[in-house]
Amino acid sequence: MKRNALCLGLASILASAPVFATLPAPAPDTDVDTRFDTVVVTAAAQTSPLTFEIDPKTPRQPVPASDGADYLKTIPGFSAIRNGGTNGDPVLRGMFGSRLKLLTNDSEMLGACPMRMDNPMSYVSPETYDKLIVIKGPQTVIWGPGSSAGTVRFERDTERFEQAGWRGYAGLLAGSWGRNDQVVDASGGAPEGYVRMTANRSAQDDYEDGDGHRVPSRWMKWNADVEAGWTPDTDTRLVATIGAGDGEARYAGRGMDGSQFKRQSGVLRFEKVRMGRVLDAIEASVFSNYADHVMDNYSLRDPDPNGAMPMPMASNVDRRTTGGRFATTWRWGDSFSLITGLDQQSNTHRARNAPGRDVYKTKPWIADARFSSAGA
Ligand SMILES: [Cu+2]
* pLDDT 10s digits, 262-278: 999 999 999 999 998 99
Residue 186, burial from CB neighbour count under 10 angstroms (0-12, 13-18, 19+): middle
pLDDT > 90 in the chain, percent? 73
Q: What is the mean predicted confidence (pLDDT) over 165-178?
A: 94
> What spacing in Å lies between the alpha carbon of 115 and ligand 1's midpoint?
5
Amino acid, single-letter form, for residue 109: M
Whether residue 15 is contained in a domain is answered as no
- Taking CA atoms, 38 is separated from 5, 8, 41, 251, 304, in Å, by 10, 8, 10, 42, 56
CA of 305 to the centre of ligand 1 (A): 21
In a domain, 137, yes or no: yes
Tell me the pLDDT band of 45, cut-offs 50, 70 and 90: low
For residue 12, give the amino acid letter: S
> Residue length, the chain?
376
User: Can you tell me the distance from the alpha carbon of 150 to that of 279, in angstroms, rounded to the nearest whole number?
Assistant: 28
Please give the distance, rounded to the nearest whole angstrom, from the Cα atom of residue 261 to the centre of ligand 1.
Answer: 9
160, 167 Cβ separation under 8 angstroms? no
User: In this structure, are strands 100-104 and 150-155 parallel, antiparallel, or unpaired?
Assistant: parallel
- Reduced 3-state DSSP string for 317-375: EEEEEEEEEEEEEEEECCCEEEEEEEEEEEEEEEEEEEECCCHHHHCCCEEEEEEEEEE
From CA 63, how far away is CA 127, in angstroms rounded? 12
Question: Among 3-12, 110-119, 164-173, 338-347, whose mean pLDDT is lowest?
Answer: 3-12
Please, where are the H alpha helices in 54-134? 68-72
How far, in Å, is the centroid of ligand 1 from the Cα of 118?
Answer: 7
Calculate mean pLDDT across residues 17-41. 45
How far is ligand 1, taken at its centre, from the CA of residue 252, in Å? Answer: 14
Instruction: Give the separation between CA 113 and CA 92, rounded to whole angstroms.
Output: 21
* pLDDT score, position 274: 93
Per-residue pLDDT band at 19 (split at 50, 70, 90)? very low
Q: How remote is the CA of residue 180 from the centroid of ligand 1, in Å?
A: 24
Contact predicate 322/288, CB 8 Å: yes
Per the structure, the complete domain to which residue 357 belongs is given by 43-375
For position 48, what pLDDT does the model report?
80
Across the chain, mean pLDDT equals: 88
Could you read off the pLDDT of 79-138 as tens digits, one per residue?
A: 999 888 889 999 999 999 999 999 999 999 999 999 999 999 999 999 999 999 999 999
Res. 3 pLDDT band, cuts 50 70 90: very low
Ligand 1 centroid–CA 144 distance in Å is 26
Distance 93 CA to ligand 1 centre (A): 25
Of the two residues 24 and 326, the one the predictor is more confident about is: 326
Which pLDDT belongs to residue 35?
52
Q: How far is the CA of 350 from the centre of ligand 1 (A)?
A: 13
- Looking at residue 21, its pLDDT comes to 33
Domain annotation covers residue 33: no
Task: Indicate whether 35 belongs to any domain.
Answer: no
Q: How far is the CA of 67 from the centre of ligand 1 (A)?
A: 17
% the chain with pLDDT above 70: 88
Q: What is the CA radius of gyration of the chain?
A: 23
* CA 112 / ligand 1 centre spacing (Å): 8
- pLDDT for 175 equals 93
Cα–ligand 1 centroid distance for 295 (angstroms): 5
pLDDT at 50: 85
Q: Residue 109 Cα, ligand 1 centroid: separation in angstroms?
A: 15
- Mean pLDDT in residue range 191-209: 96
The Cα–Cα gap between 102 and 119 comes to 9
Span from the CA of 98 to the centroid of ligand 1 (angstroms): 17
- For residues 172, 163, 273 and 105, what is the CA-based torsion angle, rounded to 10 degrees? -20
Q: What are the pLDDT digits (tens) for 61-84?
A: 778 888 899 889 888 889 999 888
Flag whether 111 is in a domain.
yes
Q: Is the dihedral of CA 360, 362, 363, 364 positive or negative?
A: positive
d(CA 170, CA 21): 42
At a CB cut-off of 8 Å and minimum separation 6, what does 67 contact? 86, 87, 88, 121, 122, 123, 124, 125, 126, 202, 221
pLDDT of residue 25 exceeding 50, the answer is no
Q: 267 CA distance to ligand 1 centroid (A)? A: 25
Query: Does the pLDDT of residue 14 top 50, yes or no?
Result: no
pLDDT of residue 32 exceeding 90, the answer is no
Confidence of residue 174 (pLDDT cuts 50, 70, 90): very high
| Residue 72 one-letter amino acid | L
Residue 64, SS3 per DSSP: coil
Asked, for residue 5, whether it belongs to a domain, the answer is no
Q: Does residue 63 sit within a domain?
A: yes
Q: How far is the CA of 119 from the centre of ligand 1 (A)?
A: 10
Taking the centre of ligand 1 as the mean of its atom positions, its distance from the CA of residue 253, in whole angstroms, is 13
Distance 116 CA to ligand 1 centre (A): 6
CATH number for position 223: 2.40.170.20
The rounded Cα 229 to chain-centroid distance in angstroms is 22
Residue 2 lies in a domain: no
Segment 333-354 shows an average pLDDT of: 95
How far is the centre of ligand 1, averaged over its atoms, from the C-alpha of 153 (Å)? 24
* 3-state secondary structure (DSSP) of residue 98: helix
Number of domains in the chain: 1
Helix (H) or strand (E) holding 101: strand 100-104
Q: Is the pLDDT of residue 28 over 70?
A: no
**How much distance in Å is there from the Cα of 316 to the middle of ligand 1?**
8
Question: What's residue 1's pLDDT?
Answer: 35
Residue 271 CB neighbour total at 10 angstroms? 16
Half-sphere exposure of 231 (CA within 13 A, CB side): 21
Assess whether the previous peptide bond of 62 is cis (omega < 30° from 0). Answer: yes
User: What pLDDT, on a 0 to 100 scale, did the predictor assign at position 85?
Assistant: 82
| d(CA 258, ligand 1 centre) in Å | 6
Dist. CA 154 → ligand 1 center (Å)? 24
111 CA distance to ligand 1 middle (Å): 9
